[in-house]
Amino acid sequence: YQAKRDRSGVEVYEVTRDANTPDRLGLLGDLRRALDSGDVELHYQPKVRFDGQVAGLEALVRWVHPERGRVSPEEFITIAETSGLMPQLTEYVLDTALAQIARWRRMGLDVPVAVNVSPRDVHSPGFAGAVAARLARHQVPPGSLQLEITEHVLLEDPQRAADTLNGLTGHGVKMSLDDFGTGYSSLVHLRRLPVSELKIDRSFVARLVVDSEDAEIVRCTIDLAHSLGLLVVAEGVEDDETWERLRDLHCDAVQGWLVAAAMPAEETTRWLRARGERGWQRPAKTPAPA
């Protein structure tokens, strides 16, 4: 558990990081078993460009607990991070995603898949090599895998993080900076990280149309990213108006319920096939009532 001492030397618990409450211990054991038995699933959410072409898919982990029902990723990822289970979860997600990429490639569907990795992964020694070994084992070209990291990787040991990320890009894996705008990293850090894509956090995208300050943040982020040669993806796009604003701001791609929510693998296959060469088309607007 995460015990800290306050100024008087008394141990205090950080409630949200405490992995040892009975509830969390129960969930942790169940999660460990779910990983062993393959009860944790991946769903895939498309990233599409404004011309409709599918730029890639993001793998998002899903766990339906036999008694509690769906447990949100935010919740069990925190548990995995604080309990030391993160390496197993990440290995599981990587293997499942890589096996699926290989399957799709055999069907003639060649679409890059992004996997979310935690700061723990990036700081674990040998991570870059382990990813390269997994790619080889699944016979997946490195360009078909993308890893999404957050600015939090820079909080602990920026040099170590940069070394790992350089190792990964050296192997040909593309890096994406997720949830941009919510962390504390400086622009200097951004320049130092070998990322090729930046994802604007949903919190800014959601208010883009209604809040002029959020609109300004999004505009500046897109311009900054472009000036550094990065592609920009907006996450959490739910409506037409937001899509149009992002297109006008020269954002490169969007992800969100407007296009599709994360879907199980089979449904993703059908979705990709149905879009075919034309890619995703926005549904025609219903004319406003006269």
Per-residue binder mask for ligand C2E (CB under 6 A), 71-110, x = binder? -xxx--x---------------x-----------------
By CB under 6 A, the residues from 191 to 230 that bind ligand C2E are 202
CB count, 10 Å around CB of 159?
A: 9
Does residue 131 bind ligand C2E (CB under 6 A)? no
Number of residues this chain uses to bind Mg ion (CB under 5 A): 5
Under the binding rule (CB under 6 A), the answer on residue 118 touching ligand C2E is yes
The answer to whether 137 and 94 are in contact (CB under 8 A) is no
Stated length of the chain: 290
The least CB distance from residue 54 to Mg ion, in Å, is: 16
Contact 215, 200 (CB under 8 A): no
Among the listed residues 179, 200, 232, 272, the single contact to ligand C2E using CB under 6 A: 179
H helices present in the chain, as ranges: 22-37, 73-83, 86-106, 119-123, 127-137, 153-156, 158-170, 187-192, 202-206, 212-227, 240-248, 265-275
Name the 3-class secondary structure at 260.
coil
Q: Which span (151-159, 183-191, 216-224, 249-257) binds ligand C2E, by CB under 6 A?
A: 249-257
Our finding on whether 256 is near ligand C2E (CB under 6 A) is yes
Binding partner of residue 46 among Mg ion, ligand C2E, none, CB cut-off 5 to 8 Å per kind = none
DSSP 8-state secondary structure symbol assigned to residue 218: H
Cβ atoms of 240 and 285 within 8 Å: the answer is: yes
Rounded Cα distance between 114 and 60, Å, is 9
Asked if 56 touches ligand C2E (CB under 6 A), the answer is no
Q: Which of 39, 41, 91, 238 binds ligand C2E (CB under 6 A)?
A: 238
178 binds Mg ion (CB under 5 A): yes
* Residues forming the site for ligand C2E (CB under 6 A): 45, 60-61, 72-74, 77, 93, 116-118, 148, 178-179, 202, 235-238, 255-257, 262
